[in-house]
Structure 1
């Protein structure tokens, strides 16, 4: 296996620090939202290092749409893995509770709006995917090591768009 480029190694090291965990949640989502808006959904700043998407899910308590930019791990079959790391902070990120309550959601992926269904991965399935996640982005191991909760993993798969109502003549 080839070594990661120096820039990637530096970002991996920095993203594993507690300072990054404290500052990143305040800065990265705002920057990603702005770039996503300016590029009409085609790009986000954080995608310079990791693939990313914007997840829109209904709030667990309010039912209102909540949009959040997230890193993801695309899978060969066209699905996506979302990692609820919360930058290694103690609590689960709110978007994970939203998906547990309302698994039907939408994503913006490379300028395309896609309806998806989320599945929480558990047991053996989670273990297999977690090992792939750690190869994909090793800092997730650091995040998991400093918290007691198990980081939630979700698989997003495409779902059919509801057909528009048919109008009778």
Structure 2
């Protein structure tokens, strides 16, 4: 799936990217395909949904531990990004945009007691 997404694929009826994080314990690079949504000028939103599971996905913990060591690949290009978890009004605004584009995420939220983390990925100057 990651190979297809590198060429500009989709996941869960949404655009997708390959997220590369650094393992919080191992320091090893980990690749994960995730659905993404436009986050404004040259940024993306992603959701740590784990399809509504009780716990966040493993990539979320890696991203939280190393928010400045994240890379995305989409449509054949790699971009170094900084990950920023959204809270309050910023999260609410992004969440409305995400669930309007892909109602499945609202269903995931209904399946769990945790608030699904919404993360903005912002390109870093290289």
TM-score scaled to structure 2, two decimals?
0.91
Q: Distance in 2 between matches of 1:60 and 1:132?
A: 30
Deviation per CA, 1:21-55, whole angstroms, max 9, x where unpaired? xxxxxxxxxxx12434xxxx3133x3582100001
Structure number having the greater strand percentage:
2
**Structure 2 residue 80 is the aligned partner of structure 1 residue 128:** no
- How many residue pairs get aligned? The number is 125
Structure number with greater CO (CA < 8 Å, separation at least 6) is 2
**Structure 2 residue 78 is the aligned partner of structure 1 residue 113:** yes
Deviation per CA, 1:2-37, whole angstroms, max 9, x where unpaired? xxxxxxxxxxxxxxxxxxxxxxxxxxxxxx12434x
Taking the TM superposition and a 5 Å limit, the aligned residue runs for 1:1-169 are: 32-36=1-5, 41-44=6-9, 46-47=10-11, 49-104=13-68, 105-161=70-126
Q: Is the 8 A contact 1:51 1:74 kept in 2?
A: no
Higher Cα radius of gyration: 1
**TM-fit CA distance, 1:135:** 0.7
Q: Which runs of 5+ in 2 are unaligned?
A: none
Structure number having the greater helix percentage:
1
